[in-house]
Amino acid sequence: MIETGWVNRFALFCIRQRVWVVSLLAASTLLLTFFAVNIEVKTVFADMLPSSHPYVKTHERFKDTFGGSNIVTIMVEVEQGDIFQPAVLEKVRTLTLELRKVSAVNPFQIISLASKKLKEIKSSTEGIETKPLMWPDLPKTEQEISALRDAVLRNPLVYGSYVSTDLKAAVITVDFIDRLVDYGTVFNEINQLVDQVRDDKVRVRVVGDPILYGWVNYYLPETMHLVLATVLLVVGLLFLFNRTWRNTILPLIAGLVSAIWALGVTKLFGIHFEPLVIVVAVLISARAVSHSVQIVNRFDEEVEAIESGRESSETAAKMALSDMFRPGMLGVIADAGCMAVVALSPIPLLQKLTVLSVVWVFTLSVSAVVLTPVLLSWGRHPKGFAHGLNLAPLLHLFLGFCARIVTSRARYGVIAVAILIFVSSGIYAFKLKIGDANPGSPILWPDSTYNLDSGAINNKFQGVDRMFIVVGEEGSRGLLKKVEVMDNMNLFQRFMSSQPEIGATLSVADVVPAVNRIMHEGNPRYQELGANQTVNGSLMFLFESVSEPGDLDRFVDNQYENGAVTLFFRDRQGETIRTAVARIKEFIAKHPLTEGTYQLAGGVIGVMAAVNEIILSGQIEAIALALVVLVILCTMTYRSSVAGMVFMVPVIISNTITFSVMAWMGIGMNINTVPVAALGIGLGVDYSFYIADRIKEELALGKDAATAITIALHSTGSGVLVTALVLIISVMLWSVSSLRFQAEMAMLMSIWLGVSTLSALLLMPSIIYIFKPEFIYGKEPGVVAQTQQTAMKSGA
Amino acid sequence: MTSNSNRPNSPAQAGTGNSSGKLIKLGLSAIPWLIIAGLLWVGLFIKPQPVGTTVQPPSIERTDSFYGIASPAKGVLWIVGNKGKVVRSNDDGTTWVLQKTPTLEHLQDVASWDDKRAVAVGNKGVVIITEDGGNTWTEVTVPLSKVSNKLLRVKAMADGRAWAVGEMGALLETTDYGKTWQRRRDEEDAAWNDVLFLDADNGWLMGEAGRMMRTVDGGKTWQPVASQVKISLMAVAFRDAANGVAVGLEGSLLATHDGGKTWTLLPRAKRPTGGLATDKPETALAKQHVLEEAGEHLFDVTWDEAQQIWFAIGNQGVWVRGNKDADSWDAGRIDARDMAWHTRVIVANGHTYLAGGRVGEWNGQKNAWRAFTSK
């Protein structure tokens, strides 16, 4: 369609004032570059938490005392013998002492055999006395070591928790002050520390969220290399396919300008950049490249069209700009709109990412839709080629094939296949796992150091990942001394211990019986909770009086209002967490407390449970809202709600396929994958816009449907095909990433791009050809029918 | 040509065509909104589901404590413990069935008259009895103290008699298979830890702070006996009318060879320090020469007629073994790495069974432990 009105005037203005337009854009780009290079790249765990979720509220309220989400576990494991060797104990001690120097460490939460916290409680003639197991001095003689071993073996709070049951490993756990922790620094400092004690006799393994995200940071240089390699590959492939420097450099410039603008604006908003979502940046840059390629292709066509007359880059550029303005802007706005709805998610990470993405996509309207044609207007040799290898015939062979399918009866086959794919992928999508799908972190490969370490520690111990449940009530002092409450907690722990998901449990209801037994000459017949509130109170008081300030705080606050039951998990799989939470709720429902309530759930597993609970419904709602945006946009643009329905088709199919591919490859939908999945919802619908718009244009010029479709496929379609090929091949590079997450997300993106390309080249034209929607055909078909009727009448 | 110009030509047809066309159009334009509404609805209600079913705790849980054990017949075992738990096996501990009891108090001991009739006692003076092998347990009332009533031990005797002891000097007797109980001593602020009747007339009480009492008239009158120790005595056993052994806290061993007139405090039993399994056998051998005293609390003792040994158990998985004359003792651990305590040991049908933090069968000749577990 030849645009008239303001679009045309705008195009004319841009080309005439091109020096000013380009200078203005260059100046802004320069300015924003300054901000863009200063953007902070870091992971902030708090950003991943849906702050409105009750679990997260519980977590935030109690994390400082009952254990946060940043606990790091270090395991020292011996190859031969047991850990009760002076050299090994020395290492445990060194690690324990040196950990205090690591930044943001909470010095009161470093717990190990060598810390002051783990102690033996004994009753003696003088009363009750406590002695740290291995603090301040290491045991020296054979006898002392033997005594230490016995002390460990008879201490249920140590044996199995801080020393493995086979005595071959000891752990040190350390918590951090949440608001101060910087994962990169912690990772480096702890690794340096661990390297000091590592030798051929012991293996030292480290796990915990700061370490996990530290690994992500560690691979940041590699990730940047991948980004660079991707850019180079894109350039190379564009050059190969497009055969001109102009058509190679311009899309690249469009991509770069967008990236700079987006990062600069994001920095101005004070938002940092999450290293794991670099893949999203690649995704959006891919959009910039596609739009730009569409424009340069259109430019080439315009040049072709006015070839006979005087060749003028300016005229061609103006035409390209005005012609591509509508589908281009529609694509940009649709992409941005579909991404914007993700901001409704309660997860701050997603909200911030949405700001970044929406800004980024909108910059495409300047960088690709305007800047590219303006720069094109300076083109000197619009018809020359930079190399002789012409792949266009191959592409056109494929496009011709597509056109033949669409214009022959095979188009019904296309629809049938699409329906089949939609139904089968839709059904398979139900197998999608919510939360982590496998043991170990899905961010890293199964054979990565971290995942091997994590597996080894979880194997030796009862589980390193914690969830705490708070029992308590506001303003009910002394609640935790009550017999009913303590009995209920004890029952709860017994019930949860039987569930295969749980490695171990710990609460004040474990401490009190131990103290009680000590008070009764060590008689196990008294290893039980106190008979009444007063006894429980005095037993807790007794424990506190012989321990360091704060030792009891791990279990109960100092007013005895709130207490924690800590559950230890061996893995973080979505199913494990979900099932455990269901069991917790089942217990609470069956054993209600008359006073006080159970509050779920803090610790790293608690907040993961919260995230997992909301992401599935969040994702489905985001898809629905993205469709709302799409339908409204299409209805407004084409003045037909049927248009909305037609363009929904590729979006829905690409999402069911994505879901089922994730299910098939064992990629769970979790806090890391959900940004990519959410931002990808509307991805690729712009291919369909370009094709549909071209068909409409050609029809408006009076061509018949088959010709219009064939022309559209060979012109716009070739742009679509080139971009898709270039991007898919480039994105494949990421499969070598050391971060499994990036490799998998890149693959998902390739699938997305592939699906949208095929939708645009086969499905959309088929739908248009078969259903002949009015918004593409104009009122023509109806008119034709009526005209025929009229003709028949008049004939009669 | 536009549709506007056509309409006037055929108003009727255009009218019908339009109304059905409009209907279709309306339907078509409603579809996207229906899809969206459907998705939103799904989004509101869809929740990932937990997998599997709730695992019901097994009869013998990992965290269970079993304080008492009884074996009324070959292969039949009753164990009682925390939270009013009674579990029975009819196949020598291979499979276990949880029995329903009317109490949630910790049960401290169990005694049986035969494989149908048994009594279990526990915290807060709770006493439950069964007459049908444990299919039904009923709670019976016993004389209670106002201060505290934890019952620690129960011993069954012939003709439906049984004795139970506990806190506040509790000494209770039944003569009708546990249906009714009478208090046989006044309250005092000290607990009796064990009661033993050698026959209908001769009986013993072991208690806190080294207290020991005996009766020769079936429990009507009791006389204190000097034990020479101030440490709490936990259990006593006799192999005949003259020879007995009492055990107590901190590894204390007392023996009598004159029917309990005089008791001698024996030196503590000794065990090799290398009692722990180690990966280096040569060091274990080297350690064999160094002996250490078994100073752990001892909670129960029994006479093993078949092996002709005294056998006692206690805290931290300790076992102590004495010869027939009780003048030579050695000690060891049930398991090098499992320091679970045990409160009861019985010898039945040639097997030695232990109840405690872990419950199972101990084979002293093979140094082998068979833990009782259940699915």
> Which CATH number is B199's domain given?
2.130.10.10
Indicate if B264 and B118 belong to the same structural domain.
no
As a whole number, the mean pLDDT across chain A is 84
**Is B31 inside a domain boundary?**
no
pLDDT at A339 over 90: no
3-class secondary-structure state, position B183: strand
pLDDT at A786 over 50: no
pLDDT at A785 over 70: no
Q: Per this entry, what is the length of chain B?
A: 375
Half-sphere exposure of B154 (CA within 13 A, CB side): 35
* pLDDT tens for each residue of B50-105: 777 778 888 888 888 999 999 999 999 999 999 999 999 999 999 999 999 999 99
**Is B40 inside a domain boundary?**
no
Mean pLDDT, residues A545-556? 79
Rounded Cα distance, A285 and A278, in Å: 11
What are the respective helix, strand and coil percentages of chain B, to the nearest 5? 20, 40, 45
Cβ distance of A531 and B123 shorter than 8 Å:
yes
Indicate if B342 and B253 belong to the same structural domain.
yes
Indicate if B146 and B229 belong to the same structural domain.
no
* Nearest Cα residue in chain A from B57: A498
* pLDDT tens for each residue of A562-610: 999 999 998 888 888 988 999 999 999 999 988 889 998 888 899 989 9
Write out chain B residues lying below 8 Å of A586, CB-based: 54
Rounded Cα distance, B122 and A423, in Å: 64
pLDDT value for B9:
43
Confidence band, pLDDT 50/70/90 cuts, at residue B23: confident
Indicate if B229 and B145 belong to the same structural domain.
no
* Nearest Cα residue in chain B from A669: B48
* pLDDT tens for each residue of A121-178: 776 656 677 788 887 888 888 888 888 888 888 787 888 889 998 889 999 999 888 8
Write out chain B residues lying below 8 Å of A525, CB-based: 67, 108, 150, 152, 343
Extract the tokens encoding A75: 């395991």
Alpha-carbon torsion angle B179, B183, B187, B193, nearest 10: -70
**Is B237 inside a domain boundary?**
yes
What is the residue-wise DSSP string for A330-357? HHHHHHHHHHHGGGGSS-HHHHHHHHHH
Indicate if B146 and B235 belong to the same structural domain.
no
pLDDT value for B14:
43
Lowest mean pLDDT among A274-288, A463-477, B319-333, B350-364: A274-288
ipTM passes above 0.90: no
Q: Per this entry, what is the length of chain A?
A: 796
* pLDDT tens for each residue of A178-205: 888 888 889 999 999 999 888 888 899 9
Please give the residue range of the domain that contains residue B249: 190-375
**Is B326 inside a domain boundary?**
yes
Rounded Cα distance, A661 and A425, in Å: 8
pLDDT value for A145:
86
Looking at per-residue pLDDT, the higher value among A566 and A778 belongs to A566
Cβ distance of B337 and A494 shorter than 8 Å:
no
Which residue among B6, B29, B152 places its CB closest to the CB of A790?
B6
Cβ distance of B35 and A648 shorter than 8 Å:
yes
* Single pTM value for the model: 0.84
* pLDDT tens for each residue of A101-123: 888 888 888 889 888 888 787 76
Rounded Cα distance, A650 and A702, in Å: 27
Indicate if B198 and B159 belong to the same structural domain.
no
* pLDDT tens for each residue of A708-759: 999 999 988 888 898 888 888 888 888 888 988 888 888 888 888 888 899 8
pLDDT value for B274:
54
> Which CATH number is B137's domain given?
2.120.10.30
pLDDT at A637 over 90: no
* Nearest Cα residue in chain B from A495: B57
pLDDT value for A468:
93
Q: Which residues pair with B368 in a beta bridge?
A: B363
Mean pLDDT, residues B213-240? 92
Lowest mean pLDDT among A33-47, A630-644, B175-189, B278-292: B278-292
Rounded Cα distance, A619 and A611, in Å: 12
Number of structural domains in chain B: 2
Taking a C-beta distance cutoff of 8 angstroms, is the pair A209, A466 a contact? no
**Is B44 inside a domain boundary?**
no
* Nearest Cα residue in chain B from A643: B29
* pLDDT tens for each residue of B128-143: 999 999 999 999 999 9
Lowest mean pLDDT among A28-42, A377-391, A474-488: A377-391
Indicate if B120 and B221 belong to the same structural domain.
no
Cβ distance of B55 and A621 shorter than 8 Å:
no
pLDDT value for B278:
44
Q: Of the residues B134, B168, B202, which one is the last residue of a structural domain?
A: B168
User: Which among B348, B342, B364 has a CA at the least distance from the CA of B78?
Assistant: B348
Cβ distance of A531 and B124 shorter than 8 Å:
yes
pLDDT at B284 over 50: no
Q: Which residues pair with A506 in a beta bridge?
A: A566
> A81-110: buried (b, 16+ CB within 10 Å) or exposed (e) per residue?
ebbbeeebbebbbebbebbeebebbbebbb
pLDDT value for A124:
62
Looking at per-residue pLDDT, the higher value among A674 and A485 belongs to A485
Write out chain B residues lying below 8 Å of A166, CB-based: 337
Indicate if B216 and B356 belong to the same structural domain.
yes
User: Which among A770, A232, A738, A191 has a CA at the least distance from the CA of A444?
Assistant: A738
Taking a C-beta distance cutoff of 8 angstroms, is the pair A301, A383 a contact? no
Write out chain B residues lying below 8 Å of A645, CB-based: 28-29, 31-32
Taking a C-beta distance cutoff of 8 angstroms, is the pair A606, A613 a contact? no
Indicate if B133 and B218 belong to the same structural domain.
no
**Is B48 inside a domain boundary?**
no
**Is B228 inside a domain boundary?**
yes
Question: What angle separates helix A641-665 from helix A685-700, to the nearest 10 degrees?
Answer: 150
Cis ω for the linkage preceding B8 (within 30 of 0): no
Which residue among B33, B46, B249 places its CB closest to the CB of A616?
B46
pLDDT at A277 over 60: yes
**Is B277 inside a domain boundary?**
yes
- Residue bearing tokens 């998705």: B39
Rounded Cα distance, A513 and B188, in Å: 25
Lowest mean pLDDT among A32-46, A378-392, B122-136: A378-392
Looking at per-residue pLDDT, the higher value among B312 and A530 belongs to B312
Rounded Cα distance, A286 and A730, in Å: 10
Indicate if B206 and B90 belong to the same structural domain.
no
